[in-house]
C-alpha cells in the first residue's frame, strides 16, 4: 500500500470517528490491517456524543472528506437496492455546494486551454462564479456578438485528486470484500467501478457538450423542454461554453407562484419529458435535481422547462427498454404473471427461476401499493420493489436501470412538490401505451426493417463467394469443420471413465460369481472364496458409488 493511500486512509478514519461512525468501521472490519492505528488514536478516546441519525452523520463525514466522496455519496444514494432507506435518504441530500476556487485561477486555466488571451474569445468574463460544484464551476461571460454565455471550467488538479481518491476507494472496497461477510451481496468493488465510469465521464466537458447537443436535437421544436445552445468553437476537454439560461430556478416556488405559473401543467410536463426521453428517444438526462432545472415563464399558462448540466445521461438496451415498459404496464394492470414472465424473458433473473414463485413474490410486493389512491402510487417505488424481487431470486441489478430509477425518483419528487395532486400514472400511461403500439405497428416494423436493410444487404452480397468456396472445398475433399477441441477432450474423458466403470462392474460381478461357485463346489481353502467375494463386492460398490456421485 503506497504511503499517500495510507495517509488518506488514516485521515478518513479520523473523520469517521469524529462523526461517531466508529461502530460502522468496527462492524465492517474496513481497517482490520490498520486496527492498531484505530485503537491508539486519541480521536477514539475523546469521542463526543451526537443526536444526529447515522445517515446524517455519514452525510456530514462525506462532505468533510471532500468533493469526490460527496459525488460518491450521491452515486450511492441511487443504490436503494443495497442501502437502508434512512441512509439512502440522507445521501440523496448531498449537494455540490462547495467553496469556489479563485476566478483568476479559472481565467488562467481557460487561457491555457485556448492557448491565447481570454479577451480574444470572450468579453466581460466575471471572475466571481455563478455556481461552484465538486468537479467544476461556472462563470458568466459574453461572446463578441453580445450573446450571454456561461463558461464551465474544471477545478484545478481535479484529475489527480480523483485518481488518488479512486485508488483509496478501491483499497477500502478491497478491504471490505476481504474482511466483511456482507460484502458478498453488496459487491463494493463493482460499486466503485460503476462510480469510476460516471465520474471520469464528468471530467470530459466535450462529452457533456455532445450530450447537450443530442438532447437539444431530440427536443427541437418541442414546447416541453429547452436545451441551451453549445458553442463548439469555444469548447475544450476542460472548458465548456454554452448559452446562458435566464429562467427561474425550479426550487423558487414563491417567485413562480407570483408570476401565475400553471403548476399542474408544469408538473405533468416534467413527467412527460422523462418518459419521452426514456422510451421515445432512449436518451435521458440522468441528473435532474432542482439545481439543474429552470423554468421559462414567458407565458405562465404554458411554462417550459430548461435544463443544464449534462454530464450524466442514460440510455437503455432496446430489450431492457421494451421489457421495462411492459413491466410498468403489467404492474399497473395487476398482471403479476406477466411481470414474472417478463423478468425471466429479459434475463433479469436466472433462466431456471420458477414463474409461479416469482409471480407470488411480485404480488406480495405490489398489492400493498394499490391500497392507496392512484395519484399516490410512485413509479420509482414500483421499480424499487421490482429490484427487491430480483434480489430475492438472485437477479443481477443492471446499472442503467438504477440510474433510471434515481432519475425517476427525482422527477416524481419534483413533480409532487410542484403539484401534490399529480397523478403520475395518468400522465405516463399515454406515453407508454402509445410507444408500445408504435413498436408493433406496421409503420414501426417497416422502420426497423429499413434500419436493418443495409446490414442485411451486405450479408447477402457476401454470401455467394462464401458458398462457392465452400462447394469447391467440398468437391476437393478439403472442407473441414472447426470443432472445440476442449469439448472433444471432455467427451473423450467422459467416455473413457464410463468404460472404466463398466469394466469394474463386470469384474466385480465376475468375482462375486466366482465366490458363489467356489462355495457351491465346496472348494478349499474357504477363506479364499471369501476373499474373492469381498473383492468383487468392493469393486462393484466403488463403481456404483462413483456413478452416483
The answer, yes or no, to whether the previous bond of 525 is cis (omega within 30 of 0) is yes
Q: Is 149 helix (H, G, I), strand (E, B) or coil?
A: strand
Strand-pairing partners, residue 28, are none
Beta strand 293-296 with 239-243: parallel, antiparallel or unpaired?
unpaired
Q: What is the DSSP string of 108-137?
A: HHHHHHHTS-GGGTEES--SS-SEE-SSEE
d(CA 124, CA 107): 12
Question: Which residue is listed with cell 466581460?
Answer: 124
346, three cell numbers: 429479459
Q: Which of 26, 22, 31, 73 is nearest to 50 (CA)?
A: 22
Phi then psi dihedrals of residue 154, to 5 deg: -65, 150
Nearest-5° Cα angle at 328, 346 to 388: 65
Instruction: Identify the bridge partners of residue 151 per DSSP, sorted by sequence position.
Output: 139, 241
* 192 burial type by CB count under 10 A (0-12 exposed, 13-18 middle, 19+ buried): buried
Q: Which of 22, 81, 287, 423 is catalytic?
A: 287
Is 287 an active-site residue?
A: yes
Which residue pairs from 45-48 have beta carbons closer than 8 angstroms and sit at least 24 positions apart in sequence?
47/17, 47/20, 47/22
Residues annotated as catalytic are 287
Amino acid at each position: 500500500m503506497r504511503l499517500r493511500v495510507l495517509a488518506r486512509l488514516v485521515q478518513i478514519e479520523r473523520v469517521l470517528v469524529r462523526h461517531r461512525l466508529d461502530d460502522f468501521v468496527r462492524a465492517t472490519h474496513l481497517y482490520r490491517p490498520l486496527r492498531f492505528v484505530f485503537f491508539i488514536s486519541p480521536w477514539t478516546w475523546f469521542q463526543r456524543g451526537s443526536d444526529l441519525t447515522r445517515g446524517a452523520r455519514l452525510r456530514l463525514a462525506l462532505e468533510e472528506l471532500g468533493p469526490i466522496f460527496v459525488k460518491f455519496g450521491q452515486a450511492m444514494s441511487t443504490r436503494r437496492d443495497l442501502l437502508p432507506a434512512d441512509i439512502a435518504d440522507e445521501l440523496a441530500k448531498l449537494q455540490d455546494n462547495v467553496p469556489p476556487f479563485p476566478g483568476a485561477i479559472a481565467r488562467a486555466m481557460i487561457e491555457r486551454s485556448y492557448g491565447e488571451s481570454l479577451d480574444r474569445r470572450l468579453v466581460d468574463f466575471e471572475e466571481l462564479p455563478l455556481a461552484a460544484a465538486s468537479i467544476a464551476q461556472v462563470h458568466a461571460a459574453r461572446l463578441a456578438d453580445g450573446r450571454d454565455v456561461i463558461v464551465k471550467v474544471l477545478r484545478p488538479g481535479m484529475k489527480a485528486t480523483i485518481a488518488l481518491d479512486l485508488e483509496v476507494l478501491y483499497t477500502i472496497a478491497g478491504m471490505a470484500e476481504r474482511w466483511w461477510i456482507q460484502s458478498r451481496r453488496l459487491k463494493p468493488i463493482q460499486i466503485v467501478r460503476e462510480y469510476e465510469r460516471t465520474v471520469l465521464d464528468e471530467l470530459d466537458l466535450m462529452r457533456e457538450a455532445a450530450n447537450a447537443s443530442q438532447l437539444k436535437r431530440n427536443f427541437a421544436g418541442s414546447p416541453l423542454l429547452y436545451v441551451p445552445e453549445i458553442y463548439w468553437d469555444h469548447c475544450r476537454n476542460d472548458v465548456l461554453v454554452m448559452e446562458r439560461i435566464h429562467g427561474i430556478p425550479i426550487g423558487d416556488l414563491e417567485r413562480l407562484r407570483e408570476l401565475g405559473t400553471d403548476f399542474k401543467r408544469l408538473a405533468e410536463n416534467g413527467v412527460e419529458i422523462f418518459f419521452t426521453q426514456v422510451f421515445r428517444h432512449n436518451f435521458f438526462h440522468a441528473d435532474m435535481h432542482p439545481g439543474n432545472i429552470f423554468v421559462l415563464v414567458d407565458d405562465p399558462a404554458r411554462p417550459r422547462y430548461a435544463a443544464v448540466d449534462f454530464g450524466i445521461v442514460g440510455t437503455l438496451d432496446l430489450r431492457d427498454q421494451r421489457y421495462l415498459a411492459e413491466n410498468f404496464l403489467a404492474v399497473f394492470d395487476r398482471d403479476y404473471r406477466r411481470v414474472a414472465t417478463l423478468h425471466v424473458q429479459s434475463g433479469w433473473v436466472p433462466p431456471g427461476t420458477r414463474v409461479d414463485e416469482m409471480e407470488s413474490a411480485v404480488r406480495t410486493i405490489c398489492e400493498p401499493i394499490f391500497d392507496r389512491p392512484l395519484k399516490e402510487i410512485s413509479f420509482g417505488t414500483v421499480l424499487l420493489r421490482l429490484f427487491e424481487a430480483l434480489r430475492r431470486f438472485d437477479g443481477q441489478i443492471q446499472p442503467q436501470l438504477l440510474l433510471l430509477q434515481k432519475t425517476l425518483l427525482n422527477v416524481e419528487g419534483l413533480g409532487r412538490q410542484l403539484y401534490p395532486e399529480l397523478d403520475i400514472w395518468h400522465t405516463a400511461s399515454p406515453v407508454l401505451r402509445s410507444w408500445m403500439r408504435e413498436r408493433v405497428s406496421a409503420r414501426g416494423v417497416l422502420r426497423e426493417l429499413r434500419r436493418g436493410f443495409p446490414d442485411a444487404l451486405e450479408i447477402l452480397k457476401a454470401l455467394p463467394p462464401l458458398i462457392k468456396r465452400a462447394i469447391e472445398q467440398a468437391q476437393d475433399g478439403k472442407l473441414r469443420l472447426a470443432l472445440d477441441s476442449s469439448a472433444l477432450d471432455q467427451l473423450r474423458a467422459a467416455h473413457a471413465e464410463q468404460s472404466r466403470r463398466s469394466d469394474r462392474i463386470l469384474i466385480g460381478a465376475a468375482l462375486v460369481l466366482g465366490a458363489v461357485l467356489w462355495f457351491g463346489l465346496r472348494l478349499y481353502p474357504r477363506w479364499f472364496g471369501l476373499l474373492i467375494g469381498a473383492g468383487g463386492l468392493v469393486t462393484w460398490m466403488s463403481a456404483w458409488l462413483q456413478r452416483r456421485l
